[in-house]
Structure 1
Amino acid sequence: MGTVIDSHFLALTAIVTIGYQFVFFVITALLKFDKVTDFAGSTNFIIIAVLTLVLKGSWHFRQVILTLLVVIWGLRLAIFLLMRILQWGEDRRFDEMRSNLGKLAVFWIFQAVWVWTVSLPVTVVNASNRNPFLQAEDIVGWIFWAVGFLVEGTADQQKLNFKSLPENRGKWCYVGLWKYTRHPNYFGEILLWWGIFVASSPVLEGAEWLVILGPTFLTLLLLFVSGIPLLEESADKKFGNVDGYRTYKRGTSPLIPLPPSIYGNLPSWIKTVFLFEFPLYSRNLPREGPNW
């Protein structure tokens, strides 16, 4: 089969993604039901990966592996996020959107852009006829993905277990991987998508290298837009006057896992330049009180 609208399936996947997200937008807008938002995003990745593989017709090993990695990640995330939101109730991100159709539409448009852009490496690889022999980049990429997947899944489960205990109600998660980074799930997600890009690189030629926009967009999104900044702001408002939280935040890396004994003693410029400890992550943290 091969060519559908364009040879790289870019237009096709854009149309499918917009249509899929639009259906869930309508459901959310009409029924005020926002428990399917993360499910819609993660399953959209699966649809793109499987659809482009099937449409290609003839598959090679690298295409099958990369598609399988996306499907495994998407299924794990879809099931986990759906079960979590059903357990916790309404999604607080939509408190200001449920009655504002414009803001709700912007969210769904942004989610469609996120899915399509981050999927670019797999989309282009599945559309390609090139099939070079197994290379070091394949192995490195698969290792990155495996480590990232394990970290993200472990962190999600540790936080869910922590918050499910009555004695931890109203506390921030500081156990397991959360001892070494304030956002281990984001670290895992960034690592696994960079792994998919690295594993796709032996196939890429010329302008196809622009698929690096996928993991780059995801990284910037989590570092500066809807990931770490929003969660840091929320945590600072809840726990900013708690000495234990201040100590935890001073001594715990925002993204890259490090022992607190090492991170807490690093110069601030190293934390900012190499470890992503940006001032915007503490803009809402009160500066008065002990241990600051």
Structure 2
Amino acid sequence: PTLLSFSVKSNCKKFVTSKRIIVIIIMGTVIDSHFLALTAIVTFGYQLLFFIVTALLKFDKVTDFAGSTNFVILSLLTLILKGSWHWRQTVLSFLVVVWGLRLGLFLLMRILNWGEDRRFDEMRSNLGKLAIFWIFQAVWVWTVSLPVTIVNASDSNPDIQAQDIIGWIIWSVGITIEATADQQKLIFKNSPENRGKWCNVGLWGYSRHPNYFGEIFLWWGIFVSSTPVLEGAEWLVIFGPLFLTLLLLFVSGIPLLEESGDKKYGNVAAYRHYKKTTSPLVPLPPAVYGNLPSWFKAAFLFELPLYNKNLPKEESLGWYRAGSPGTKIG
């Protein structure tokens, strides 16, 4: 009996030890040295939660809020878990939190004020398309967050350098432009006298999408500020701001809004004049942009052909006065 008891206890200890080893291996995988697996799990879990809410309740007003606040969660989570609280880590995390909360709350209040999100008109009854959207949003959050994730995971803590200051300045300019553009458009759209018109006031008179320019600019600022601690493969975090830039230029940002605008106002001469004289992204005076050659606009200022593919042909608009707000004269 004594021998049997010893054998059972020995096996139990081995089982417990093996279990602990498995747990340690799993935790080591999740909380890896760069927090890549951890942030991926948290991101997909957070987005899955909102996907379930959207799919079951047909409630899509929290979509943009879920995306923006996910950035806040990742920056704070990695900062706290590392526990180093280096100046660079703290500042970059703070910048991401400020951006994420401002944008998330702004978009939430806007959609609650305006009503349903038209992007989901075809998705509400199509679970597959809805799932793809949420998966893509998770990829967007995780990828764009890479610079701050790697900085917060780093043991390196060099003195504040020129890149840090430059990056913070770029971020400051970017968020100022984005926030100002958002507010200007909100005020414009909420005015009854502007119903049915496109926004061309303030920054929107210098760029057709100044809010996107600001967002792209500030995330490149985050990347620049992260460079003093990057080593070897860590430089791949450049895919964060690069992914965001390509996404807004070619996929879900500017192309969708240009298509929508062209379908609504494409027959209005003043709108066509606005497009010809207003930069699609980088803010420039209309007098300057309007006189630049087409090849220069396409090569350096992102005036891409896909932004005009839904615009009616010039020859079909002969009965509209050039520069007028679409008044029929013939």
TM-score, normalization: structure 2? 0.87
Point out where structure 2 has 5 or more consecutive residues left out of the alignment.
1-26, 324-330
Q: What residue is the counterpart of 1:202 in the other structure?
A: 228
Partner Cα separation in structure 1 for residue 196 and residue 56 of structure 2: 33
Correspondence for 2:52: 26
Code of the residue aligned with 2:70 in structure 1: it is: N
What is the aligned counterpart of 1:121 among 147, 169, 175? 147
Distance in 2, matches of 1:151 and 1:59, equals 29
Q: How far off its partner does 1:163 sit?
A: 0.4
- Could you say which residue in structure 1 is the equivalent of 2:253? 227
- Are positions 1:101 and 2:127 aligned together? yes
CA distance in 2, matches of 1:141, 1:115: 20
Task: Return the match for 2:87 from 49, 58, 61.
Answer: 61
1:142-179 deviation per Cα after TM superposition (whole angstroms, max 9, x unaligned)? 00000000000000000000000000001000000000
Q: In structure 2, how many angstroms separate the alpha carbons of the residues matched to 1:57 and 1:214?
A: 24
Summarize deviations over 1:23-46 as a string: whole Å, max 9, x none: 000000000000000000000000
Measured in 2, the distance between the counterparts of 1:220 and 1:58 equals 33
Structure 1 Cα separation of the partners of residues 259 and 228 of structure 2: 40
Residues in 2 aligned to 1:27 and 1:134: alpha-carbon distance in whole angstroms:
43
Q: Which of 270, 277, 295 is 1:244 aligned to?
A: 270
Partner Cα separation in structure 2 for residue 106 and residue 258 of structure 1 = 36
1:39 paired with 2:101, answer no
Q: Which residues of 2 match residues 136-147 of structure 1 at below 5 A?
A: 136-147=162-173
In structure 1, the residue matched to 2:101 is 75
1:289 to 314, 317, 330: 317
Alpha-carbon distance between aligned partners in 2 of 1:278 and 1:149, rounded to the nearest angstrom: 25
Q: CA RMSD in A?
A: 1.1
Aligned counterpart for 1:275 among listed residues 301, 309, 315? 301
Matched, 1:16 2:34: no
Partner of residue 211 from structure 2, selected from 185, 193, 208: 185
Runs of 4+ more than 6 Å apart: none
Deviation readout 1:78-100 (Å, 9 max, x if unpaired)? 11000000000000000000000
State the Cα distance separating 1:59 from its structure 2 match. 1.4
Which protein has greater RCO, CA pairs closer than 8 Å, 6+ apart? 1
Shift of 1:58: 1.7
Q: How many residues align?
A: 291
Q: Matched residues in 1 for 2:31 and 2:186: separation?
A: 43
* TM-score (normalised: structure 1): 0.98
Structure 1 equivalent of residue 280 of structure 2:
254
Q: Secondary structure at the match of 1:140?
A: helix
Structure 2 CA distance for aligned equivalents of residues 122 and 44 of structure 1: 13
Gaps (5+ residues) in structure 1? none
Q: What amino acid is aligned across from residue 69 of structure 1 in structure 2?
A: L
Q: Which has the larger radius of gyration?
A: 2
Q: In the aligned structure 2, how far is the partner of 1:27 from the partner of 1:198?
A: 37
Quick one: percent identity of the two aligned structures? 77
* CA deviation map 1:40-87 (0-9, x unaligned): 000000000000000001210000000000000001001100000000
Query: 1:150 aligned to 2:176?
Result: yes
165, 177, 201: which one aligns with 2:191: 165
CA displacement, residues 225-271 of structure 1 (integer Å, 9 cap, x when unaligned): 00000000000000000111001011000000000000000000100
Aligned-residue offset at 1:112: 0.1
Name the CA distance, whole Å, in 2 between partners of 1:285 and 1:141. 38
What amino acid does structure 2 have at the position aligned with 1:289?
L
Amino acid at match of 1:84: R
Q: Distance in 2 between matches of 1:205 and 1:48?
A: 21
SS in 1 for 2:160: coil
Q: CA deviation at 1:5?
A: 2.8
Which residue of 2 is the match for residue 264 of structure 1?
A: 290
CA distance in 2, matches of 1:247, 1:289: 13
